[in-house]
Structure 1
Amino acid sequence: MKKLLCVFAGVLGLAGCGSVDVGRYAEERPVLDLREYFDGTLDAHGIFQDRSGEVVKRFHAVIEASWEGDTGTLDERFTYSDGTTQRRVWTIVRHDAHTYSGTAGDVIGEAKGEARGNALRWRYVLELPVDGKTYHVNFDDWMFLMDERVMLNRSEMSKFGVRLGEVTLSFYKRDS
């Protein structure tokens, strides 16, 4: 048991060491302003891969986004490859030029985000239903603005520092 705890502690320690500082992207262009990008209708296409890398679910989402001052609403409607649907409504608050927070019905507590250059790091805990049970899963999202219409997102999912899988998606902003 002691040996197992040491291995587990080592895994947790290594997980914390692999983190990139979002400030690394401060000079990258175009600059991401969530109020500009998430305004209007967007399409997102993505996949979920389990820890082995197998794609276990594909999805499409339509996002209706709007802002009033420094408070934004992202109304996300997902359709999954198995025919199921889901809706998540985010309320995002811009605190200054670089920091954001957010809430949604299935998010535990508050999401925290930091934007620098073309990148946003967005971290939160999500209530994730799986096979009749609900798990609290950590999400570490990295979003990169490619141009005025396209943004790429890579999310790592973990629980107790153990990687569970990854979500990859592309956002495309429709014409206004």
Structure 2
Amino acid sequence: MFSFKNLLFGIFCTCFLSIWTGVHASQMKNILDSPEIIITAAHQTVSSYEPYQTLSVQTQIELSHSLTALGMIVMLPPDWTYLGTSGTNPSEVAPKIEGRTVQFAWINNLDLNQLTFSYSLRAGSLVDQDETITACVIYRFETSNERKQDVLPNPLVIKARNIKPNPPDLVSPANHETGISLSPTLVSGSFL
């Protein structure tokens, strides 16, 4: 039986389903069109350090797809100093340094498969413990939200090099060459 009520219900269902499937189809299209982005990031340096030693940290970031923006944030050990960058793909923007944090950024030429660069650091004045460097990359693909991934190993551990102080030379030329006696002489008081 035909009724106006059934007609309205049919029109409503048709409109609702076409709107609903259209929304989901466009979401599915975006999901299918967005390739799985794979970023691998690694860094390495010397295994141990001495006071005020200059060391280089080599960094390699591999990209599976072109990106819109890429950044890297590095947290330095206390009392360590950032000195500069070098390599094939140093940061396009001057690194931003705030306290112990160094930020690198790339906004052009992100259709490369790999970024490789090094940054130099000067160790602090004390070598009393192992130190760590932590880093992460932050990236964006087209209109996607910002994503974050650790640079491995996380943390990068740099061991304190055990430096033994040089003991004073116990042989003195004063007794043999100059004739000066180093024997204790009691001026006043007693030895007890």
TM over 0.5: no
Higher strand share: 1
TM-score, with normalisation over the residues of structure 1?
Answer: 0.32
TM-score, with normalisation over the residues of structure 2?
Answer: 0.30
